Chains A and B, each alone.
Chain A
Amino acid sequence: ALVLLLCALRAGGTELTFELPDSDKQCFHQELERGLKFTLDYQVVITGGHYDVDCYVEDPNGRMIYKETKKQYDSFPHRTEVKGVYTFCFSNEFSTFSHKTVYFDFQVGDEPPILPDMSNRVTALTQMESACVTIHEALNTVIDSQTHYRLREAQDRSRAEDLNGRVSYWSVGETLILFVVSIGQVMLLKSFFTEKRPGSGGAGT
């Protein structure tokens, strides 16, 4: 029972998916206490260009505690040392034509345990309660995995659809080029051997 109590369960937090237009920056803020552990996970989901985004996290004193450029996904855990408003921003300022869809998950602290007086208990949890706690934790892990897979699948599917489109366009284009070039070659050759002046014979090679 003690082991279960000490496990850090999945926290209260926010997960959002939003579109980041090109050359734009979007910031989010959260007020946090001191000594709290938070984790920021983010991932670029769908994009018109490269799958990357700049991200930085600032503490209430304006100090940059995390800064990464052109990352596709990352996870940043941190224990707060100062109480105040923490800011994290996603920037697409380096890109001029591709807007991006960014997913982030900001988990804060340790979740209140599923049984509220778990920490104050003197007696051990009943088997039923222990089972509930275990299942709850496992389900939270499942939900996290699902989100991760959902994002990966969205990314891959978007790439596959792009590929399909590109293959179709390029094939049609190439066929047209093929026709134009081959008919053009024949016309051009014929024109070399066609005299414009009447009366002269055909030119030699």
Chain B
Amino acid sequence: LALYFHSGEREEKCIIEDVPSDTLVIGNYKVQRWDIHKQDFLESAPGLGMFVTVTTPSAEVLLSKLYGPQGTFSFTSYLSGEHVICLQSNSTRFVSFAGSKLRIHLDIRVGEHFLDESVVQAKDKVNEVNFRLEHLIEQIQHISKEQNYEREREEKFRKTSEETNSNILWWAVVQTLILISIGIWQIKSLRDFFISKKLV
């Protein structure tokens, strides 16, 4: 696990993943806690776990589970859109005293297009190429799903732009009409007023 970042003990860190529907998202993480005495991150902290919460674009909770200090979680999106993956430790310390922090290693993979090298130990030539081809087909399917998703979003974008366009036109017309009618009303009203006051 390569990339890591620091977080407060009770802080919640969230990652946003914008995925099309029916996509498998796999994440694995490792969390370490800072030890004051050793001035280093402990390799494994007993009792330390992470709450993993996954929220769908419609604000529903898809996954909410407590995992240990090291774990793998996965979920399949059934809606397309922005899913929020949040990690929060189950630390029960109410006061996070100075120097207490967590180191979280994280790796998130979207779509199943990653190679599982252990399966490819087959000596059989044909099977190896077969496996590679299957992997490529998965990649292509994922790309195709992403493109469909992109088409949906572009449609939404285009609708918004067209709505803005017609809004502007509509309001401009309405305001011009209001302007003209108010102008006429003003002149009439003032003329009647001056006539009644015998000024004209």
Asked if B3 and A202 make an inter-chain contact with CB atoms under 8 angstroms apart, the answer reads no
Give the A interface residue count (CB, 8 A): 52
Whether a CB of chain B sits under 8 angstroms from the CB of A8 is: no
A19 to B178 alpha-carbon distance, docked (Å): 44
A114 to chain B: which residues have CB within 8 Å?
Answer: 115, 132
Interface residues of A (CB under 8 A from B): 12, 14, 16-19, 26-31, 101, 106, 108, 114-116, 128-129, 132, 135-136, 139, 142-143, 146, 149-150, 153-154, 156-157, 160-161, 163-164, 167-168, 171, 174-175, 178-179, 182, 185-186, 189-190, 193, 202, 204
* Proximity string of chain B (109-134) to chain A, C-beta cutoff 8 Å, 1 when within and 0 when not: 00001010100100000001100110
Whether a CB of chain A sits under 8 angstroms from the CB of B164 is: yes
Whether a CB of chain A sits under 8 angstroms from the CB of B2 is: yes
Asked if B15 and A28 make an inter-chain contact with CB atoms under 8 angstroms apart, the answer reads no
A17 to chain B: which residues have CB within 8 Å?
Answer: 15-18
A202 with B146, Cβ < 8 A, contacts A106-B3, A139-B139 known: no
Q: A146-B147, A175-B174 are in contact. List 17 more A-B contacts (CB 8 A).
A: A14-B2, A14-B108, A16-B108, A29-B5, A101-B16, A115-B128, A132-B136, A139-B139, A142-B143, A143-B113, A150-B18, A164-B163, A167-B164, A193-B193, A193-B194, A193-B199, A204-B199
Asked if B16 and A19 make an inter-chain contact with CB atoms under 8 angstroms apart, the answer reads yes
Within the complex, the shortest CB–CB distance from B138 to chain A, in Å, comes to 10
Asked if B4 and A29 make an inter-chain contact with CB atoms under 8 angstroms apart, the answer reads yes
A136 to B136 alpha-carbon distance, docked (Å): 7
A42 to B2 alpha-carbon distance, docked (Å): 18
Asked if B197 and A27 make an inter-chain contact with CB atoms under 8 angstroms apart, the answer reads no
Interface residues of B (CB under 8 A from A): 2-6, 13-18, 106-108, 113, 115, 117, 120, 128-129, 132-133, 136, 139-140, 142-143, 146-147, 150, 153-154, 156-157, 160-161, 163-164, 167-168, 171, 174-175, 178-179, 182-183, 185-186, 189-190, 193-194, 197-199
A16 to B13 alpha-carbon distance, docked (Å): 12
Asked if B167 and A171 make an inter-chain contact with CB atoms under 8 angstroms apart, the answer reads yes
B164 in complex: contacting residue of A26, A154, A164, CB < 8 Å? A164
A163 to B165 alpha-carbon distance, docked (Å): 10
A14 with B107, Cβ < 8 A, contacts A28-B4, A108-B2, A186-B190 known: yes
Asked if A174 and B175 make an inter-chain contact with CB atoms under 8 angstroms apart, the answer reads yes
* Nearest-neighbor residue (CB-CB) of A145 within chain B: B143
A14 to B17 alpha-carbon distance, docked (Å): 12
* Nearest-neighbor residue (CB-CB) of A16 within chain B: B15
Q: What are some 27 contacts across the A-B interface (CB < 8 A)?
A: A16-B15, A16-B108, A27-B6, A28-B5, A29-B4, A29-B5, A115-B132, A129-B129, A136-B132, A136-B139, A157-B156, A164-B160, A167-B167, A168-B167, A171-B171, A171-B175, A174-B175, A175-B171, A178-B178, A178-B179, A182-B183, A186-B186, A186-B190, A189-B193, A190-B193, A193-B194, A204-B199
